[in-house]
Structure formats: structure tokens, C-alpha cells
A and B are shown apart, each in its own frame.
Chain A
């Protein structure tokens, strides 16, 4: 079907949650209050590694207003983790029993009548610790004789993953040119504006209701069931509006678990909201990674083989770090065709805050490394970096042995579009440089880490007598616009208007299961489920319409803009509303119900589809200070059929800025396990003043696996930024920064170093 035939999708519609969000009416978990509600607080370890000898809660319990203080002895003693069928990787008790493993590990939780009393009571809990030696650097932590952070993991080796195809050793021996480089990618805070928070209410009939800021209400329900021993069906998780996730609100967090436990003991509602300091220091963060990369090429620019070794700084627990470890390995080959590829990834425990999922999930790190090295290789070979990329770019229907089948891919067109833009930009002013980076990203993960027998996404459509459509989805809107996108898909498929759809979402007791918002999965996976549910409902309407319209058997019926008509002869038709009424009468008064589901099958190990793109960033480097100023960010990308254009652009822009912040100013610094910049004053996220002009070039593509041909958009744009900026800095002033972040100090130092070592005339200086 050609694009112009769509009546809802592809249109610039306002977000369906818009009015609530701009009037202050949208309720987030932090805004929720229940009658008789208590306030909870969590006592956290001040030490990076220590044995808990004794916890004396008596003084805290005696403080008027304090209702209860809980420690590990009040729990079932279970350990939590997302890979539920790998029990040894479920390693986080949340309330620590024997040891604390990072500054911020939880040791006690309490509830009081007001927040001030709860805060005061924290100081009255006496914990006796035996301090243990700690390990902060993953390279140190592996050494013999370093402290064991988890008893079962010798020398702190947490997870090892390998990926390979072809034969790299053999291939390198055939290459004309080989580069070996090392890189470091720094960590990043998620920086959600709404902190982690939960309001739990356990009733006398044994049912637990939890309102919480989560990326997956279903995961929260399942993991709470594991940890509390309640049946899944006795736990209702309600997800109100969520103030951002970015990967941080996917595992079970301390606010959710402790609020639930406290409420279960007291049979009263308990609310816990993490402070900003807890947000920075006691949740999760992006994985910092050390890389060694060997790249082999032929003189003509053909990339032959790449060998990647990554050592990731895991922090105190596994969380979803194993997946980041795997994905950084997979995406280190992207977006090129390598006949020979080998990856070894080592995840190491340290006594720092846990590194886990963070928007891009290992791919941004892989891309910074890979795309920096591609430019270095292009320079070695004397080939234009875009030409080199075009020569090796993944093309449609590309098979990555044992890993992935890539169907749609318009990377070449994206590269050509960026090439054209750079040429049109013409000569740059002094100290300006443009860097490019090509990337690909997944449309949802094929990881059943949670080990569920349910479909990955499901949806239910109910058509009522007035023609209004109730759409029930388990998908999680967290700001990315999925409520709008999925409503649009439902309206398009049913042939009604967007305002005909009433969305029901964010309540596990009402909505069918969906794995939630991670890995850019909802447009494709939840979208397919919604489309299928709408189609099933629509077919029931068409059966009735056939009786009325009695078309020749060769004609099909369709519904468009509330009119049921002959697909081939649109003028012959009847009102959707009349058909709905007839259909309901024909079903003995039952509403029309359609069910839909989606689980990827036969799509490899990673994802059912991949999106591709290229970003060019123009920077200006101040030679006196080393400061990088962003001048322009130009993105050419392809994401299949665009469903929700405003949402798509917003995702692309927001992700690009998050990536630029990671590259330049955001580094979560710590010393001896203590976060040094755990507030928004010292942790520098980019401001409106820092953001440059953004240009978006949409390249057409069609993904057969996605709804209407749609695939991922948004998260993928956290991927290319750092590499493009590093390349731009090099092209501006001739210094190659391989250790993130690209801070002013580091660039200045590199400029000075370059001046010292280079006696001959610096060609970049000469141009400037």
C-alpha cells in the first residue's frame, strides 16, 4: 500500500497524553498519595565493601512515628536478577544480609508517619561493619589476591561471552594493513527527572498493589513475586505516567522492593521516593568498558577481519550487565560486513554502583570504538572515510552467521545523503571539523531473560456499541510516545479516527502481558500485537458488512475513516457505526473483541529487525581551552514506515543530545567507590544553550517484519554521537581522543602534547 493511502499513521498528530502533560494533570508515582500512607526510607552502606556484623534497629524503632524497621532477616533471603534461569547471575538481595558491596547498597528499610521522622530514624540505626578491602578498577579486580566480591565468582570474573564467525587469525595473515588500538568508554548516569519511586499497598486479603515508575510493569510484577513469595496474580502493578527511564527502570529496584516489604508487614500503604543522591549513587548506570580492537583491511579499503576484546566494569551486581556485554560485542561489528569477526567480552565485578542497561545497551560504546577506528583506518589507507564505509556497509538481506538476519537496510543511501550534505556544507572555518559515524540498532531484543511463557507483546481490542474502541496494551509509555504510536496503529488498522481509541495501559490486572519498554521493542513488537488485535476485530465487523453490502465475491471490504466500503470501489459503503451496532446484535449483545500477540521466531539471536543511519557532527574546538562546541548535528536514518513523525523526531533529537552529553561532559566520577558528582550541578547534562542546530534526513525503507513496515527509531541515535564527535574533533584540530569522555582538559592536554612532540609544521594549525 502506498503511503498516501494511510489516514492515521504518518500524520503529524499531537501526543495522546498531551493535554494531561501540559496542564499538570498527568499523575506520576511521585505525585500519588493514599489515605493512611506511611513514608519509607532506605539505609544505605557508606562503605564500598564490608561485612555486616550486626544491625541494631532498637533506637530507630523507639523514635515516635516510626512504625517498623526491616533488615535482611525479615526477607525470604532470595536473590534477584533478570536472567531468572541462570540462578548464579541472580545475585542481588537488595537488602543485604552478610555483606555490602558498594557505597549505596541497602541494609535496612523503615516506615514512619512522615518523611522527616523517617529521615531522622535512619541515623538511629546502628550498623556494625567489618571493613573489607575493595576493588574499583576491573583490571585490578581480576588479579590474584584481590578481594572476592561474590564468593562463587573466583577472581571477580562475573560473565564471559564470545561471538565469532569466520577465522580471524587466518584472515589477518592475508590483510594488507592491520591496526591495533585501545579505547575506553566512560560511564553515564541515566538522569531520569522522575526518581525511582514506588507506593505499595498490601491489603488484609493478601493482595499487593504497587504504583511505580517502571519501564516494565510485567517485569516488576514477576520479580516482586520472586522476592516476596506472593503469586503473580496477587500482585497488581500500576504504572502511572513515568518521568523517564533510559534503561534504569527495568530491574526490580530498592524503592519497589522495600515499599512492598514494608507494606506487607504493616498492611498499610508505604511510599518510597529515592533522593537525587540515591538516584546517582544507588541505582544503576551505563557500563564503562576497556577495549582492545584489531582491524584488518586490504589496500582497496575492503574490511576483512575485526577482533575485539572488551573488559567491562560491572560494579557490584550482574543486573542486565551480561546483555550489555553481549550486545557491545555484537554491535562492535556494525554496521559492516566482516567475513571474519571475533569478540571476547569479560564482565568483572567491582565495588562500584552496578552497571546495567542504559539507552543503547552497549551499542554506543561499541560504536565510539568502532567508528573512531574506521576513520583511523581510512586515513592509514588514504581513502575517504565515507567511501570506506560505503564499500563495507551492510546491505539488505545480509546474514551474520549464527547471530542475525538483516532484512531491510538502507545504510548506503544514508551514507550518500550525509556525503552530499558535507559536500554542500563546503569549506569550514578554522578549528571546525565534521566527523561522521555510521550505526545500526535493533528493534527489540530476542532475549527471554525473564523466562516467561507469555508472548513478548500482546494486545486486546474491544469495540463498543458507540463505535469507541478500547485498546488494552501491556506496553509501557515512559515518554517515548508509544501510547500515541500504538493508538495510531490501532486506528489505522480498524479504519477509525485517533479520537475513537481509548487506551487502557499500565495496569497488570487489566492489560495483557507485554515485556515493556527496552531495546526499542515496542513499535515493532507491541505494534504487531496491536495491529493483529485490530485486524481480528475488524474481520468480525466485515463479516457483518458482507451481509449488508453483498458485494460480488471477487471484491474485498475495507474500513477507512469510519466507513466500511468495497476496497476497489470506495464509494459503495456504509457507516462504521451502523456495522458495529449490527455486529454486536449478531453476537447476542457482546462487544467485538480482537486479540493480538507477537513473539519473534526464526530471527536469530538478537532482534527481528535492524535500523540504520549515519550521523555527521560539526564541532568547533577552542584551542585555548580545549572546549568542544557543537555546531550542527545532521542525521540521515531509516526506520521503515514512519508511524508517529513528531514522536520519531523527538526521539532522534533527544537521543542525539544524550549521546553528545555522554561524549563531552557527562562522566559519573567516583573515588574509592563514592560518587563525586552525584547532583545536577556537578553532573553536567547538556542544556538548551549547548544544543546545536539539528537536521534530520529521513531515508525511505520498509521492514517486512514490522507493522506497516516500521522498525526501531530513537534509541539507536544514542549510538553514533560519541564516535562522530571524536572524529570531528580529530578533523578540527588533529588530536585523536580514544579515552572518553572528550573533556576540555583531555583535549587541551592532547593539543599540548601534540605541540611538544611535533617539531614539523602541524598541517591542521597551518590551515587554521
Chain B
């Protein structure tokens, strides 16, 4: 209110004052609560690898919540409103940032609490090929495709995700930065060891082709230069005739002798593959909490499965 206005508005203030006081509103105090170093950082994540990284880095200084039910693929899971409200209450929300978890784009979240762990390597994300495009209405054709999201199958990209997490933690709790750095260093050592194991394992295939049951291994095959071909089979479902024909077509020359699965396939499928000279092995992406062990245990088991090389006596 300007001085001129104030002067003019003092015409009969003694009459207006009691009424003005009667009609005045109570003051509100809504100062945000200051974060306390004693309270663990509340961190919600969208998949299990991020939970593992966050717990390794944050230790006792973070409380990590991964609300997706066991057994579902978090990339295709959508939380209900109450669960999203839980994400809203978190100090930080760790996003995979490479496609997957499409629900994030439809949810109401605090933008300044979101941590895109793949932001540092956005230019190295691998786009999903042949995503169908469609057109309706006047807006032109568009596709609902995106990038492959299993970035953590490449330990170097996993390390970049871990670094992004450590940076976010340190920004949120600067007084705990040293602890977070120590957690990151230990995780980094394990990831580099995993990389060394996978490098050796991949070399065992030489120029031999490798079959994958699902197109989710793009970052693994790109990092270790595997001659990979993928089909789109589910471990729990028996492939139909068309899928078997696709397999025949997709087998390279020389034909692949090993197919890696996300989980143990059905016995009948394994038997028919064996008859075709293809050995079935499990290479779990471990997007959700494993039945036994942790993410690193599963990745090391994957490396061992890969290290077994082509099927003995092939050809």
C-alpha cells in the first residue's frame, strides 16, 4: 500500500478500526520443518537396483523404501494413489531415468526431490527399436516407445547411477558426505570387480553368438560386445509355433548354443531348446528383490553363468 493511499485512507480510522479488527484473519505459520541430521534420510526408489545402491551408499543414514510388490517387474508396475503419497513424503525419490516406471510421468511428485540417476549418461541410453507408432486425431503419428531401462546390467552405468545417488545424498545431508563417500567407494570397488568378472566371462564366448530370451540385455551386450540376438519369450509361458519359427530365423550362423533367460524357463521349453542344441541359463536382470542374496550376489551368479561360455561340444 502506498503512502498516498495510507494518508487518504485515514479519513475516519477511529470508526473503522473496531470493525477492521473484528474482521481480521488469524496469522498462519507454515515454516517448513528443518531437516535433522539425526533423522535418516527418507529415500523412495522405483526399482531394486536403486534400493541396493542407496543402501550401500547411505548405510544407517538413509531409510530406503521400495514399495513395489515382490515378483512384479517394477518397470511396468504402477503404484496406487496412496503409494504415490508415500513417494511425496520422501526426502528424495530415486528414478531409474532410462525409461521404465512410466507412472512417474503421470504422478504428482515434488520435482525438486526427484533424482534422475541416468541423467549423466542420457546420451548413452539405447533406444528401443521398432516401437509401434500410431496416429489418431490431428496431432500426427507418435510412438509410446523409449529407451531400454536395465542400465544397471552395465556395471559402469550402474556406477554412474551410484555416483548420482551419492551426490544427491550429500546435497541433502552435507554433514554425512564423508559417510556417503565411503559407501560409494566400497560399492565402486564391487562394481569394478563385477566388471572384471563380466569382461572375462564375455571373452569366453569369443565370436560365438548368444541368444537372450527377452530384449532387456541391450546395455550388457553393448558393453561387452556380445554377438547377441533376442527373442521375446517369457520364462513362465510356453512359446507358440510362431515364436519357435522366429527363433529359427534369429539363430545366427554359426547358431547360438546358449540362451539366457530372466528366470528359469519351463521344463518343456528347456527340453525342446536342448533338442535344438541350445542350453538354457539364467541371467537375472534383478529389477526386483531376489529370493536369495542381494543384487551383487545375483550379478555375480550371472557372471558365472556367462563365464561358462558356449555349450560344450557344440557344432
Do A and B originate from a single complex? Answer: no
Residues of B within 8 A of A (CB): none
